[in-house]
Amino acid sequence: MLNDAHCHFFSTQLFSTLAKGRPEQTPGGDTAATADALCKELQWDPPGTPQELADRWAAELDRHAVGRAALIASVPNDEASVAAAVQRHPRRFVGFFMVNPGAPDATDRVAHALTELGLRGVCLFPAMHHVPLDDDRVRRIVDVTSRMPGAAVFVHCGVLTVGVRRRLGLASHFDLRLGDPLRVARLALEFPEVPFIIPHFGAGLFRETLMAADVAHNIHLDTSSSNGWIRYAPGLTFDTVLQTALGVVGARRLLFGTDSSFFPRGWQRAVYEQQKQAAVSAGLSPSDEALVFGGNFDRLFKPPA
């Protein structure tokens, strides 16, 4: 069993949104043509319709023997794209979506996405949207999520870089002070029925992430990406990170992920192989390995009957 808890759904709508941040973009241009132009500049494959991109992801998962994956709508207001992918392949995909708590319709959008669209993961990026996690607007979003069994809150903490924005020359005015895992713990303790997910082991705030997860047992960590933040801690290795995390949160609160995003690169098998080897080095039992690489995902996001 192999499930990926962290893949980005780089839809046509995402590229259209990114294009709006470029001064040379003509307002009101054709969305698909804009996406194709940006992909040509990036030397990436254009995504096409959400259904076409969903089919490509399903084939990619088949090629690597991955059972299910979380697909993240990676800009606000792109819930419909991921919802279309989930509708296309309901047994393969779990839909996550980004929300800006500062938007006036944020709470209504979350309620609509979780009820009408069937999405399961609400993604908060406090450093990106400049809304602290202890802000009442965030609390209202979590409160809505708490009323939906099977829904989770994903909170990006620590260092935040968005590779596609950097490659397109788009400024990223992120406030890293706002991505504090200890503030996630406060929310998690207030809403103990809601699973919280902190990706990338806290992306540089590893100690604080472990502290948060130690006091709030509904906090889960995802292992995704190359975890380049490790370079901020001299002498630290991914093997050590995994072993330390296992010692604090145990195997039941770790979710394997790759942070895969665009094509033709597709699913990042090298990330899986690195993490698989680290699990062997950590002496993970077969049952615990099964939890980390798939079982925990299925427990949090039960597949359709």
Whether 160 maps to a domain, the answer reads: yes
Query: DSSP strand E in 207-277: where?
Result: 219-222, 254-255
Domain of 9: which CATH number? 3.20.20.140
User: Is 296 in a helix, a strand, or coil?
Assistant: helix
Count of domains for the chain: 1
Q: Which pLDDT does position 32 carry in this prediction?
A: 83
Q: Which pLDDT does position 30 carry in this prediction?
A: 78
User: Is 29 in a helix, a strand, or coil?
Assistant: coil
Q: Which pLDDT does position 210 carry in this prediction?
A: 98
Tokens at 235, concatenated:
């002498």
CA distance 292 to 278: 12
Residues in the chain: 305
Q: Which pLDDT does position 246 carry in this prediction?
A: 97
CB contact set of 16 (below 8 Å; sequence gap of 6+): 31, 34, 35
CA distance 143 to 86: 24
DSSP state of 232: G
Q: Name which of 126, 96, 87 is nearest 8 in CA terms.
A: 96
CB contact set of 149 (below 8 Å; sequence gap of 6+): none
CA distance 194 to 197: 10
Whether 305 maps to a domain, the answer reads: no
* β-pair partners for 71: 7, 95
Q: Which pLDDT does position 28 carry in this prediction?
A: 59
* Domain coverage including residue 255: 3-300
Contact 138, 101 (CB under 8 A): yes
Q: Which pLDDT does position 305 carry in this prediction?
A: 82
Q: Which pLDDT does position 1 carry in this prediction?
A: 86
Digit-by-digit pLDDT tens for the chain (305 residues) are 899 999 999 999 999 999 998 876 555 567 888 899 999 999 999 999 999 999 999 999 999 999 999 999 999 999 999 999 999 999 999 999 999 999 999 999 999 999 999 999 999 999 999 999 999 999 999 999 999 999 999 999 999 999 999 999 999 999 999 999 999 999 999 999 999 999 999 999 999 999 999 999 999 999 999 999 999 999 999 999 999 999 999 999 999 999 999 999 999 999 999 999 999 999 999 999 999 999 999 999 999 98
Whether 142 maps to a domain, the answer reads: yes
30 burial (CB, 10 Å; 0-12 / 13-18 / 19+) is exposed
Q: Is the pTM value of this prediction over 0.85? A: yes
Whether 139 maps to a domain, the answer reads: yes
Q: Which pLDDT does position 16 carry in this prediction?
A: 93
